[in-house]
């Protein structure tokens, strides 16, 4: 928005602007509101961090990279990068009580990173909403016996002249019943991007229903979503536990679990293993997407966000490992039935969630029950992540234009969900993938936020204003991570991803050149804000180039705790006026 680009201070929101839509009696911040209690914040953060990637991506990544041996680099990268970055973004959001755009007032020249975060959330929320719709459709389709993808002969949806034997008879490259159901019935997928198919109406209706549920949960912001997460953040664990208990009682489950956790270290792929571990850590925690800072911005100022960060990140990684046992126990049973090695039935991503695992569930007694539970879990996990992604967008708009949206929180939320729904309709029959480059650049900028520009000591003092003074040894570790270890790891991953980039495919389908170009345009649409906003602010600033850079690399006058009572001597109004006077004199010299 032009409002934020100009660097103007957002007008302080007062209770009369909100009219009770997101503020309750007893809230510390009567302008923006706070979480009703600590439990709602923790559950919301867990629901956001633990997404579909923990369930359908991590088990495959772990098996591909040596099983149990992969857990070592996975947890090492958690302590080297995951917890430090999570702690950093958490602290920034809680300190300023602002969304992703306004939190970059600390480094005005990098305020475009906030716009990139919002753009990334917009793209991903469109994509994620479609995946939630897939899960919802499969859940509804599971209310029948036998399951429709258990055999090609259950319906007339097979292609003419297409062989569709039972999967245990497949010895050549022949499509299984579950794979054909996914392509021909669920997606009604066209032959490629060059062939545009019609809207898949059953998916469109599921997309509409998921959008309605998201809008309803966020109708009053965190006040309403905080109540919903009591159910949505805990139910997936119950379902995973049920599936695990059922899975370990099946024949072949032991083979699947041993295949999952068995150490198969491969020194020739050591670099790839560590790269996958770090990438999975960043993706599963959703670091530098803006969601962590947004949720933290509604905390009380003196909340111990350090302890929160450690607990949430450990729960996130533990959940990935836990889900893997439930997945591989049942895949092991399917491999046992077919007389195949477990590795022959394992797939990644959509292939695991909508082809391999549904096929395995179809082989169980009372298969509709297990299928309904599994897809209900996927649906709920997707909803939790979608809640925060939409909240990021609406919070940024609300913080930037409080007078416009003063009593229209519901309208803003519904309008955002409607736009996400409409933009998601064309994606109901295609697979979307955004390059890793778009995710790592904001993370690298967060390192610059602390180490190169705002100053490590200054930011540490900001954190101590919230959680109290800590020892030198305590901060020594975080300085090492923020200033050196994490930036180096991100740079290595970024360059490794670019050097080894391979055009994405969907099964045997290769995307055309224009499709790849469109994908890179999406990446550009996310990252372009960083240089554009930096250039705009440099042009608008006064003085020599060096003075402009110095001015824009220093915290702006409105970078401080949201409430006066928390600003103390370092951020008192008098000190802000003095800084403003100094800045004015510098520009006039």
| Residue 178 phi, psi (nearest 5) | -65, -35
Q: Are 197 and 428 in contact (CB under 8 A)?
A: no
DSSP 3-state percent helix, strand, coil across the chain (nearest 5): 70, 0, 30
> CA-to-CA distance for 527 and 352, rounded, in angstroms?
31
Q: Is 24 annotated as a binding residue?
A: no
Q: Are 363 and 250 in contact (CB under 8 A)?
A: no
Q: How many CB atoms lie within 10 A of CB 38?
A: 13
Tokens of 156: 């007339």
Q: Is 303 annotated as a binding residue?
A: no
Picking from 394, 278, 286, the residue whose alpha carbon sits closest to that of residue 44 is 286
Tokens of 313: 């990140």
Residues with Cβ < 8 Å from 319, sequence gap 6 or more?
50, 54, 237
Q: Per-residue DSSP letters for 94-126?
A: HHHT--TTGGGGGSGGGTHHHHHHHHHHHHHHH
> CA-to-CA distance for 47 and 383, rounded, in angstroms?
9
Q: Is 266 annotated as a binding residue?
A: no
Beta bridge partners of 505: 510
CA angle centred on 91, ends 85 and 97, rounded to 5°: 135
Picking from 320, 437, 310, the residue whose alpha carbon sits closest to that of residue 55 is 320
Measured between alpha carbons, how far apart are the two ends of the chain, in Å? 31
Q: Are 77 and 277 in contact (CB under 8 A)?
A: yes
Q: Give, as one character, the DSSP assignment of residue 10.
A: P
Q: Is 299 annotated as a binding residue?
A: no
Q: Are 425 and 211 in contact (CB under 8 A)?
A: no
Beta bridge partners of 510: 505
Q: Is 415 annotated as a binding residue?
A: no
> CA-to-CA distance for 358 and 1, rounded, in angstroms?
45
Question: Is residue 521 within a helix (H) or strand (E), and if so which, with residue range?
Answer: helix 513-527
Helix axes 367-400, 112-141, angle to 10 degrees: 160
Question: Is residue 168 within a helix (H) or strand (E), and if so which, with residue range?
Answer: none
Name the residue with tokens 């004015």. 584
Q: How many CB atoms lie within 10 A of CB 589?
A: 8
DSSP SS3 for 510: strand
Beta bridge partners of 187: none
Quote the distance between the C-alpha of residue 562 and its chain's center.
26
Q: Is 37 annotated as a binding residue?
A: no
Name the residue with tokens 């064309």. 426
Helices (H), 448-509: 456-467, 472-480, 486-499
> CA-to-CA distance for 176 and 188, rounded, in angstroms?
16
> CA-to-CA distance for 138 and 378, rounded, in angstroms?
10
Q: Which residues are annotated as a binding site for Na(+)?
A: 47, 49, 54, 284, 316, 384
Residues comprising the binding site? 47, 49, 54, 284, 316, 384
């Amino acid at each position: 928005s032009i409002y934020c680009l100009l660097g103007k201070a957002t007008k302080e929101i007062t209770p009369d602007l909100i009219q009770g839509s997101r503020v309750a009696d007893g809230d510390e911040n009567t302008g923006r509101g706070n979480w009703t209690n600590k439990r709602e914040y923790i559950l919301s953060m867990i629901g956001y961090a633990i997404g579909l990637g923990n369930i359908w991506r991590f088990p495959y990544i772990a098996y591909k990279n040596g099983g149990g041996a992969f857990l070592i680099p996975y947890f090492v990268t958690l302590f080297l990068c995951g917890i430090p970055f999570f702690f950093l973004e958490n602290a920034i959001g809680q300190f300023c009580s602002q969304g992703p755009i306004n939190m970059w007032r600390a480094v005005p020249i990098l305020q475009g990173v906030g716009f990139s975060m919002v753009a990334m959330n917009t793209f991903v929320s469109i994509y994620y909403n479609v995946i939630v719709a897939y899960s919802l459709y499969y859940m509804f389709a599971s209310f029948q016996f036998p399951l429709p993808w258990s055999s090609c002969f259950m319906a007339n949806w097979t292609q003419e002249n297409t062989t569709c034997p039972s999967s245990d008879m497949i010895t050549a490259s022949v499509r299984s019943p579950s794979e054909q159901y996914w392509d021909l019935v669920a997606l009604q997928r066209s032959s490629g991007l060059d062939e545009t198919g019609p809207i898949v109406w059953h998916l469109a209706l599921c997309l509409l229903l998921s959008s309605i549920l998201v809008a309803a949960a966020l109708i009053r912001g965190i006040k309403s979503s905080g109540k919903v997460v009591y159910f949505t953040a805990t139910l997936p664990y119950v379902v995973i536990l049920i599936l695990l208990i059922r899975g370990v009682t099946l024949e072949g489950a032991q083979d699947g679990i041993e295949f999952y956790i068995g150490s198969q270290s491969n020194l020739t792929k050591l670099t790839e293993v560590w790269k996958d571990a770090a990438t999975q850590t960043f993706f599963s925690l959703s670091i530098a997407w803006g969601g962590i800072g947004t949720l933290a911005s509604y905390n009380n100022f003196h909340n111990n966000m350090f302890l929160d960060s450690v607990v949430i990140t450990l729960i996130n990684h533990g959940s990935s490992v836990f889900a893997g046992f439930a997945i591989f126990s049942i895949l092991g049973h399917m491999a046992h039935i077919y007389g195949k090695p477990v590795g022959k039935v394992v797939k990644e991503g959509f292939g695991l969630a909508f082809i391999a695992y549904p096929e395995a569930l179809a082989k169980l007694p009372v298969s509709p029950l297990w299928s309904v539970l599994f897809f209900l879990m996927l649906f709920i996990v997707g909803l939790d992540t979608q809640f925060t992604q939409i909240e990021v967008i609406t919070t940024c708009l609300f913080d930037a234009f409080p007078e416009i949206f003063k009593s229209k929180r519901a309208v803003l939320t519904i309008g955002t969900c409607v736009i996400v729904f409409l933009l998601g309709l064309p994606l109901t029959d295609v697979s979307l993938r955004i390059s890793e480059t778009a995710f790592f650049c904001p993370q690298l900028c967060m390192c610059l936020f602390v180490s190169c520009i705002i100053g490590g000591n200054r930011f540490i003092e900001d954190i101590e204003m919230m959680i109290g003074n800590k020892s030198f040894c305590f901060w020594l570790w975080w300085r090492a991570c923020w200033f050196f270890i994490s930036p180096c790891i991100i740079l290595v991953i970024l360059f490794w991803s670019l050097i080894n980039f391979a055009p994405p495919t969907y099964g045997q389908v290769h995307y055309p050149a224009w499709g790849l170009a469109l994908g890179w345009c999406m990446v550009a649409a996310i990252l372009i804000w960083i240089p554009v906003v930096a250039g705009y602010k440099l042009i608008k600033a006064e003085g020599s180039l060096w003075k402009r850079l110095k001015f824009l690399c220093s915290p702006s006058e409105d970078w401080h705790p949201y409430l006066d009572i928390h600003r103390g001597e370092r951020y008192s109004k008098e000190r802000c006026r003095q800084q403003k006077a100094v800045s004015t004199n510098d520009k006039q010299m």
